[in-house]
Amino acid sequence: MGDYAKAEPIYQQALQIRKKKLPPDHPDTAAGLNNLASLYQAKGDYAKAEPLYQQALEICKKALGPEHTYTASSLSNLAGLYDEMGAYAKAEPLYQQALEIDQKVFGPESPSTAEILNNLGFLYAHTGDYAKAEPLLRQALQIFTKVFGPEHPDTATTLETLAFLKLEIGQIHEAKSLAQLNAKTRLAILSKILSFASEQQRLAYENKINPYRLFAVLNGSEVDLADAVLRYKGVVLDSLIEDRLVAEASKESQDRDLVGRLTADKRQLGQLQLQTPTTPLTKGSRTSRKKLTKSRASWPSTFPVSAVQGVLWV
């Protein structure tokens, strides 16, 4: 988790092995270049990241063709770097090329397409071109909601971006409505993640979000801000209660198997809840999530987790 000093030599060694063992234009070499570039990008070392992303893109174009999905991913990676650097003129055509490939290969309603739409819309919002930004963000939101559901991190992120866009153009009422919807969505996501995810996943997710920043900049949202703070604290408290009850139940031999089932189900649900556009939620995944969520109905009513099921199982 952010230990770049340890990760860098590992990525470098892996890349050197691929260069030595594989042909110079092999896609696996491009993957190694992308991995090392993403590490440098995370460190803010853009000067090192840029040529690696460029090399990866050229390999993908040569080895796989200009319309391959890996080529689209490399285009998006380089565009994301330029976007982060504020080089929007360089990022825009790369995002557009990647979007064209993804729409052709995966279709107009794929999560990968939505991700690029979201990134391109965010870029236009950064440059103040709100007329271009809004329809792209709304299209991305529609896809994310359809594919992942209304209570997914990607859906919430796009909602938040739209709310900030509305705030920037002075449409305060709509910004507030989107902020309230985003807060409700974030709360539901947090509840599920605290219930279903591992401790590492919980911390990783909590480090990514700031649930109060929209209300903090919206005039007249003091009540909403206070309500959000109290509700978030309540969800965290419920999670602590659940953890304690499960720990106590695991001491009893008759409940040990049930605790094992709960832990396994929670782990699977955590993975499904945190799926990203690179791992779209398939029909089988949706069925698995429904089955796992419903499986708690078969637990005995005396099992301690039922004491907080009204809050945790939403």
Burial of residue 115 (CB within 10 Å: 0-12, 13-18, 19+) is buried
pLDDT of residue 273: 52
Three-state DSSP class for 81?
helix
Determine which helix (DSSP H) or strand (DSSP E) holds 201, and give its type and residue range. Answer: helix 199-208
C-alpha dihedral sign at 260, 267, 148, 60? negative
Residue ranges of the chain with pLDDT lower than 70? 1-2, 196-199, 205, 242-243, 245-314
User: Which pTM was predicted?
Assistant: 0.74
Among 170, 173, 103, CA closest to 139: 103
pLDDT of residue 310: 30
Determine which helix (DSSP H) or strand (DSSP E) holds 70, and give its type and residue range. Answer: helix 69-85
Burial of residue 288 (CB within 10 Å: 0-12, 13-18, 19+) is middle
CA separation for the pair 292, 280 (Å, rounded):
18
pLDDT of residue 255: 57
